[in-house]
Amino acid sequence: MLFTSVDDVSARLAATGYLASPAVATTVFLADRLGKPLLVEGPAGVGKTELAKAVAEVAGARLVRLQCYEGVDEARALYEWNHAKQLLRISAGRDESWDEARTDIFSEEFLLPRPLLTAIRGDDPKVLLIDETDKADVEVEGLLLEVLSDFQVTVPELGTITASRRPFVVLTSNASRELSEALRRRCLFLHIGFPDEQLERRIVRLKVPGLDAALAESVVRVVGALRAMDLRKVPSVAETIDWARTLLALGADTLDESVVRDTLGVLLKHQDDVLKAEAKLDLDAL
């Protein structure tokens, strides 16, 4: 058990620089208590990946990360035989029967463990981060489901490897694709949305310590207003932090029309969003 209470989760995550909302702290606490993987869904830049890193740091655990992308496969996710090394070994051509050679080249020495296998081997504590799960193909979900159900992996040539110590598992998703019902059922579900004003202010103060408190408040209010607009892509926490850093670098001590207009590109990535926001914030009225 990593944590004694929900407050303990909040306090220790905060000590590593991650400020958890009550929902985040509660769910992390339960994932630890119930020993279930945690599926974190939400828009980009709200701290999903960062959460897994923070938990690893708090737990003094090694972070094992499987970054998903279109086309990621078993060989990248689970394990792979080191073909080149095997070929070399075979062509080294010692005097031996094929059976002997085969036993030899399918031994641990020639195995390349990938994140899923790495995460269940060994006795040291680990956090397994399966990042951006929605980017992987549907077939990979079957594999994840297998590993996350029994925490064991069967390598036909070697036998079954069972975790002697289960990792704390975090899966993240931007919901670009609906993950399968079966995988969802294995997990506790946590949606991280945009933080409330107060929390976002604390995050900004923490990440951009040089920024004036009143300016931090204004920054968060403007971002809140942008999020209420009907934009193609509203700014996330990551953009709030970037903007705050930009303002600090520019030496701005309050917001005004020209500063906001000049730096709006840090918050909004689409030109039509910028135009819409300029109109709604009366930036074009000069």
Which secondary structure element, helix H or strand E, spans residue 188, and what is its range? strand 188-191
Q: Does 92 bind other proteins (CB under 8 A)?
A: no
How far apart are alpha carbons 226 and 213 in whole angstroms? 20
- Closest to 74 in 3D by CA, of 153, 134, 149: 153
DSSP bridge pairs for 67:
131
Residues that bind Mg ion (CB under 5 A): 49
Is residue 39 within 8 Å of residue 190, measured between CB atoms?
Answer: yes
Q: Fill in the per-residue mask, 228 to 257: x = in contact with ligand ADP (CB under 6 A), - = not in contact.
A: ---------xx--x----------------
Q: Which residues neighbour 254 within 8 Å (Cβ) at sequence distance 6 or greater? A: 214, 215, 218
What is the number of alpha carbons within 13 Å of residue 158 lying toward its C-beta? 20
Q: Is 256 in the site for other proteins (CB under 8 A)?
A: yes
**DSSP SS3 for 161:** strand
Q: Looking at 35-43, 102-110, 149-157, 236-244, which segment touches other proteins (CB under 8 A)?
A: 35-43
Min dist. Cβ of residue 165 to ligand ADP (A): 26
Residues 13 to 32: which contact other proteins by CB under 8 A? 22-23, 26-27, 29-30
| Binding region for other proteins (CB under 8 A) out of 47-55, 84-92, 146-154, 163-171 | 84-92
- The span from the CA of 112 to the CA of 82, in Å, is 6
Please pick, from the candidates 82, 218, 246, 263, the single residue that binds other proteins as defined by CB under 8 A. Answer: 218
Q: How far is the CB of 73 from other proteins (least distance, A)?
A: 11
Phi and psi at residue 80, to the nearest 5°: -150, 150
Residue choice 58, 127, 203, 231 for contact with ligand ADP (CB under 6 A): 203
Contact pick of 89, 102, 121, 184 for other proteins (by CB under 8 A) = 184
SS3 187: coil
Which of 235, 230, 232 shows the shortest CA–CA distance to 204? 235
Burial of 87 (0-12, 13-18, 19+ CB in 10 A): exposed
Residue nearest to Mg ion (CB): 49
Residue of 196, 92, 184 whose CA lies nearest to 141:
184
For residues 190 and 231, which CB has a smaller minimum distance to ligand ADP in the complex?
190
* Contact mark string toward ligand ADP, 27..66, x via CB under 6 A: -----------------xxxxxxx----------------
Is residue 269 close enough to count as binding other proteins by CB under 8 A?
no
Q: By CB under 8 A, tell whether 266 contacts other proteins.
A: no
Report, in Å, the least distance between residue 213 CB and ligand ADP: 18
Give yes or no for a contact between 107 and 82, defined as CB atoms under 8 angstroms apart: no
Which of 102, 268, 196 lies closest to 283, judged by CA? 268
- Residues forming the site for ligand ADP (CB under 6 A): 17-19, 44-50, 172, 203, 237-238, 241
- Residues forming the site for other proteins (CB under 8 A): 6, 22-23, 26-27, 29-30, 33-34, 36, 41-42, 83-84, 87, 91, 137-138, 175-178, 181, 184-185, 188-191, 218, 221-222, 224-225, 228, 254-257, 260, 281-282
